[in-house]
Structure 1
Amino acid sequence: MKVNTGKGSISLMTLIAIWSISLTVNLPGLAITPMLGNLDKIFPHTSELEIQLLTVLPNLFIIPFVLLSGKLSLSKSKIKIVVVALAIYLASGILYFFAKSMVDLIVISCLLGIGCGLLIPLAAGLLADTFVGKYRMRQLGIKSGLSNIALVIATYIVGWLNHGNWRLPFLVYLIPAIPLVLSVFLRGIPKADLYPASVTPSPDVKATAKVASKASVAGVPAKAIHAKVPAYVNDEENGKPCLVKDGFIISRVWSLITVYFFVCYATVIVSYYTPFLMQSDGMSDSDVGSVTAIFFLAVFLPGFILPYVVKMLRQTTLIACSIVMAGGIILMVAGHNFGVMCVAAVLVGFGYGVFQPLIYDKATQIVTDPAKSTLALAIVLAANYVSVSVTPFIVDGLRDIFDPHHLNNAFPFILNSVLLGIFTFIVIIFRKSFVFRIDRSYY
């Protein structure tokens, strides 16, 4: 069976092999979460610093290796990078069963972060290389859905396994064995897609007039002008020139990174602070777990229906998502019962679930050189992990100013609702800009 890519076709098994990579990318840190409260019993004399290192260091390791993976994709075989990353990931999962101290757990978790960091950009990058247009958007939506549903299922598995031996939750880190076995089918990706040729500047990408004029007078060839000085490309919407450096459209890079950073921040608040909010309202741990699961299910769902959502909402897609996310956060502040919290989790999760794959797709459009698509994805994806790492510091820093005694468990959500309201206003004002515009090719 063949699957249409928009520029040809690949076999279904090749597509399944690419999809299977997404099963692993959201799992780091998951198996450790249930045991954090019992670390002092598992490892007596565990220090607070060691616990902080166990939760923070893996995410910090992911960030540089996400960027390294994008850089390596320019000169190394992408399939080999995937295989090496999966091998490191799987080896880490196995090593957890031999850990005998907190130091062992910290070192192994860092190794897991390295493997995952190398893998993350290629889970989306291989799809971005292989598919184009609406086919690429659909596949990136499915990729987002798969990674999120894998997280939901793995969360339940970890919770169930946590009632036995403390090592059992680490079984979820053996999942990379699946894409590692299927990696043989990645050879079905056309070589022209895996190694897209670098492009020379097109007629609408040109050096600054002043520099080009001086260079032409001096007899410098046109190609050398483009190679040595910053170039510009016209924005499709307003025709204004945008700086291009090393194949990256600079204004698009920073705008996309900023938006993705904020959207991730606005969403991760739910994971971090919902338990405290719900417990202060007298709800049980079971209720907290259900709302969290519903939230991740809501994030997963849009990935599989993204083309229909975009076709229905068109140019208002991201405006609607911003409003829905803001509405969900406001409900979390106002609602003090389980039913309202479930509805709020669905709204926030659904909005983020639409935003995420569309940002992935736009990441492939911040470069003028298709050979750098994976590197572009790596740069944008790094914003996610930076956001996850710094969100507690941002919230706690502002909380110390506005709620110094930490009396209000709703503070993170009140702050978030204000910021999302401002963000929604920005989306409406700049709805025709690159980041928020929905191209007609999507529908």
Structure 2
Amino acid sequence: MSESKREGTVLLKTTLLLSSVNGMVASALMVPLLADIAKSYPDAGPWLNQLLSLPSLLMIPAILITGKLADYISKKTLLLVGTLLFIIGGFGGIFATGVMDLVWTRALLGIGCGIVYPLAPAMIAYLYDGQERAQLMGWTNSCGGAVSFVLGIAAGYAALVDWKYAFYYYLLFVIVLIMQWFLLPDFLPEKKDPAITQAKLQTGATEKLGYRVWLTSLDMLIFMTVSMFIIFKLALFIVNEHIGTSADAGMASSINTLASFAVSMVFAQIWNKLKRFTVVVGLVCMSVCYFLFSIAHSYGMMMAAVIFLGFSMGLMFPYLMNRVSIVAPNSQKTFAISLLSMAIYLGQFFTGFYTQFVDWLTNGSIRSGFMFVAGNMAAFALIALVYVIFTRNREGESQTTIAG
């Protein structure tokens, strides 16, 4: 490969990776500012919480609509529009004179995030395959975690001067927008792609999503619903059990991000060795995480649990994204990835109800709740193991696919 071609490939991959971080950055840049915003707008009331939840809520329909629009509009065009809305919605917060101004800008940001979120992995699915695709799917998770971690810290320091200064960081995505414009190829709308049309003519059939796409999306929905229980309980558990302080809860969150980052970086190598059994390992790690939380009485034990949490997240996200990109037909890849992306945010929404159910079942005991979730995850791991074993001959190890 020539030097110029190698540089072009690196720049293309860098653009795709940076295009995948919007959803994580949106939350990371807002969380450190909430206390200062509450002081500036003491009458904000419930709207303060909407600054975090509203973008995620609006991402769900935006993701689904984007999956269908890709049939008729180029993915590159959609990505550019989504990134532009994200920048305008994010940076627009600097002009806010009241909490409702922030709510409207966050709503615009959420729509932009929803448009962008499924497109970067969809482009990866169309441009790459095999080990290279798996590697990039893992790196998207790592890149999102790294960028949001750095910008989250930067936002906290900016807020020490003036919380509105943190919104200037959204202008960094102007660079990403320029890279998208010049470096990404022009994808034809999927219903106008001659390669896809020719494939349909040869088979004489209309390509359908297939049950494996729906099942993989259901996997993600269930995984997110159950695994995110820790988000509601971690800080409360650490303080109430006298294991540490709220600062230690923040450190635990950072360690989780670091562990997830590390595993995602080497996901392709893990996937190459374990093939479809990667899903079983990811679920087992989550089960071990919650079991360790249920018996933890020391800071060290808690950190071990958090590391297993990061391992599981670092495996499951790229794993399921890679899975759906493999089993979806070419004419439906973007919509399939949109379904999976939507399942992530629906799962986060359903976690609140699942948490209430677990609290009712365990009479509010956090340790018993952790043990219950550990049992759930162990059962899911067993189901996944049985499914993989019984479908190995049908799907073939040569496909290097995952359970679903």
Match of 1:156 in 2: 153
Contact 1:30–1:155 (8 Å) recurs in 2: yes
Q: TM-score w.r.t. structure 2 length?
A: 0.88
Match of 1:430 in 2: 387
Distance 1:341 1:437, change over 3 A: farther
- In the TM superposition, residue 191 of structure 1 has moved relative to its aligned partner by 6.3
Matched, 1:440 2:398: yes
Alignment length (residue pairs): 395
Match of 1:197 in 2: 196
Contact 1:267–1:352 (8 Å) recurs in 2: no
Specify which structure has the higher proportion of strand.
Answer: 1
Instruction: Quote the Cα distance in structure 2 between the aligned partners of 1:260 and 1:433.
Output: 21
The residue identity in structure 2 corresponding to 1:109 is: R
After TM superposition, list the pairs within 5 Å mapping 1:231-242 onto structure 2.
none
Matched, 1:81 2:78: yes
Residue 26 of structure 1 aligns to a residue in which SS? helix
Instruction: Quote the Cα distance in structure 1 between the aligned partners of 2:391 and 2:101.
Output: 46
CA offsets, 1:180-215, max 9 Å, x none?
121133344676999452332766xxxxxxxxxxxx
Residue 176 of structure 1 aligns to a residue in which SS? helix
Q: Of 318, 337, 344, which residue of structure 2 is paired with 1:377? A: 337
Instruction: Quote the Cα distance in structure 2 between the aligned partners of 1:377 and 1:315.
Output: 19
Match of 1:253 in 2: 213
After TM superposition, list the pairs within 5 Å mapping 1:203-242 onto structure 2.
226=205
Instruction: Quote the Cα distance in structure 2 between the aligned partners of 1:158 and 1:268.
Output: 25
- In the TM superposition, residue 310 of structure 1 has moved relative to its aligned partner by 2.4
Residue 27 of structure 1 aligns to a residue in which SS? helix
Match of 1:93 in 2: 90
Matched, 1:335 2:296: yes
Q: TM-score w.r.t. structure 1 length?
A: 0.81
Match of 1:399 in 2: 359
Instruction: Quote the Cα distance in structure 2 between the aligned partners of 1:67 and 1:12.
Output: 30
Instruction: Quote the Cα distance in structure 2 between the aligned partners of 1:363 and 1:30.
Output: 27
Q: Tell me, which stretches of 5 or more residues in structure 1 are unaligned?
A: 204-222, 228-245
Residue 389 of structure 2 aligns to a residue in which SS? coil
Instruction: Quote the Cα distance in structure 2 between the aligned partners of 1:190 and 1:77.
Output: 5
- In the TM superposition, residue 364 of structure 1 has moved relative to its aligned partner by 1.8
The residue identity in structure 2 corresponding to 1:200 is: K
The residue identity in structure 1 corresponding to 2:282 is: C
CA offsets, 1:71-124, max 9 Å, x none?
111111111111111111111122100111111111111111000000001111
Contact 2:283–2:381 (8 Å) recurs in 1: yes
RMSD, matched Cα: 3.0
Instruction: Quote the Cα distance in structure 1 between the aligned partners of 2:284 and 2:9.
Output: 39
Identity of aligned residues (%): 19
CA offsets, 1:298-327, max 9 Å, x none?
111222211221233345322222212111
Match of 2:232 in 1: 272
CA offsets, 1:321-358, max 9 Å, x none?
22121111111121122222221111111122112112
Contact 2:76–2:187 (8 Å) recurs in 1: no
Instruction: Quote the Cα distance in structure 2 between the aligned partners of 1:437 and 1:109.
Output: 43
- In the TM superposition, residue 412 of structure 1 has moved relative to its aligned partner by 4.3
Instruction: Quote the Cα distance in structure 1 between the aligned partners of 2:295 and 2:61.
Output: 39
CA offsets, 1:33-91, max 9 Å, x none?
2343455422122223x234333221110001011111111111111111111111111
Structure with the greater alpha carbon radius of gyration: 1
Residue 348 of structure 2 aligns to a residue in which SS? helix
Distance 1:438 1:115, change over 3 A: farther
Specify which structure has the higher proportion of helix.
Answer: 2
The residue identity in structure 1 corresponding to 2:371 is: I
Residue 266 of structure 2 aligns to a residue in which SS? helix
Instruction: Quote the Cα distance in structure 1 between the aligned partners of 2:376 and 2:34.
Output: 31
Match of 1:284 in 2: 245
Contact 1:306–1:354 (8 Å) recurs in 2: yes
